[in-house]
Chain A
Amino acid sequence: MSADAQILIVVGVYMALLLALGALAGRRTRSPVEFFLAGRSLGAWVTGVSSTASSESGWVVLGAVGMAYTQGVGALWFAPGCLMGYWVNLYFLAPRLRRLAADSGALTLPDCLVALFGDRGHLLRASSSLVVLVCLAGYLAAQMTATGKAMQAVVGLEYQHGIWLGGAIIVLYTLVGGFRAVSWTDLLQGLIMVFALVLMPLLALAAAGGYGPVLDGLAEVDPALVSVTAGKGGFALFGFLIGLVGIGLGYPGQPHVITRYMAAASEEKIRQTQLIGMVWGVLVFYGAGLLGLAGRLAMPGLDDPEQLFPLLARQLLPPLLAGLMLAAVLSAIMSTVSSQLLVAASTVSRDLLEGVFRVARSGRASVLAGRLSVLGLGIAAMLVASGDVRAVFWFVLFAWSGLGAAFGPVLLLGLFTRRLERVGAAAGIATGFGVTVVWKLTGLSDTVIYELVPAFLLAGLVALGVSAVRLRGSRPRA
């Protein structure tokens, strides 16, 4: 049997497994709390691995690897930055968010904001839903594009067919099994990712002569490649470090990540999740970085360094294992798409239709509206991706920062202080999103500093300031 046929078989089995998990989860999905939050029954492994897998898209197996390949050791500053985000999420946000969601019956991020601050006139629910939808819509379309490209590279399908086949599988298991299917498939995908990002850097290091020779070889190519500061100094170094470490500020505000904590079965599960999530993060981030460093010597002169992972897998591994590695690329993308698809659908059905417009409020109608939203949003994202609508991809540029700056500060301040109230929280959300867009549009992200840092800080300050003015003379929120 040819190598390509063996790779196809592995990827086919992987796809079939995803659909089987979706069908299995669907048998237990009847009520809204089942469809949107898996009945708050997730164990530690599912919560830990699925939340981290959904936060890392194709960026970690393609983008981060390519960054280390191009920029050298200094690029790995993204790893402590992202792990800082994991630490805040897992050790601080997750336990309190889970408790709040369980006590208030919240199923979505806007539900949690309403539970924290109250919501006269739907100000908070409507504004937060709008930000979630705008950011996730672009994100989804871009991830569908990535799905098409990955299917093209891995299975050899035409780009358009890749989008529709990969997208249809994601939509199908999300629609049938809801949050439980998304979480179970994310667990499988997260385990494949971590296996791949431990195995591949070890193989690449071995192919390039080992850890010491890799660093020596990189230093010979360019001494800046083995410099912790990437050979930079002064303001350029400051901007470089903030740009990489600052990525971590985005984690507490990503709705498709933090809803996973709301679905954990107990606080004890969250405590186990902390260990699992952090170990997963260390292995995946440093694995991606080391792969990029070793790959620079194992496969020098690549036109597109982001293709290092799939190219090296095909070169170093027997077909069946190479197939599994390529399934890891698909896993990284698909785990993020399905999570974002479900959160976007829950925003349409639960927050807007039920919460704001007061329709589809019975249990069965709510689940049906959720499923139809998954279908509608999924098809829309596939249409946009296959039509290559450029305008939508503009949104992706600020989706991570926009969500992170809009919701991160407000959620953390709301969960850990009593100094925030409804209008202040809405002002913080608007500021975080608005500053991100303006910063990006005016080019300040490239010339001054990564947009998430000022947007995050300003959102927190505005939320606190507006709340202080409105709470003056009255007692803080109980």
Chain B
Amino acid sequence: MRLLAASLTALAALALPGTAMAQSTTATAGPFPVTGNVPGLCSGGTLSNANSSFALGVLIDTATGLRRTDLAAPPKILTGAFCTVRSNISISATALQSVNNIAAPGAGFSRTVHYTASASGWTTTPATFATGSASNPGSSQERSTAFQGDISVGIGSFSTGGGEGLRLVADTAYQGIVTVTLAVAN
């Protein structure tokens, strides 16, 4: 036992001088860079009342067959829309057309109602799209800063396809589509 104890002591004695030598200089690791990112992110918000239909009701004056001049529908609100970077808002729409009665209308009749759809609240100039127009340069608008807010989508400026003197053919369903796109700007 005395011999073993002596041996352990000797080992300890050998090891200690080594530790003493490592403390003699300064070792540095790093710097370790900590990086992250926030990707461009857009959310189109939530449609108020979960009702995605502009319900216009009866399109014509039943005494004359001509399009009503007082057509209107409340705007739809996309609440809580946001974009974390520069963004584009664009809008497109298709004209109201009879769904079931798709035959070519007779002389003096039409199955199309044009309108203008707009998305406002996101950009200074609302994005607008007229279904009867050959080009719609204002249908896409850019916002240079991140933003959070509501987008109001509305329709108006109705006109009868082919001319205001035309009557609309009967159909229980006329339908058009409005599409609003909110995207990270390139």
Q: Do A and B bind each other?
A: no
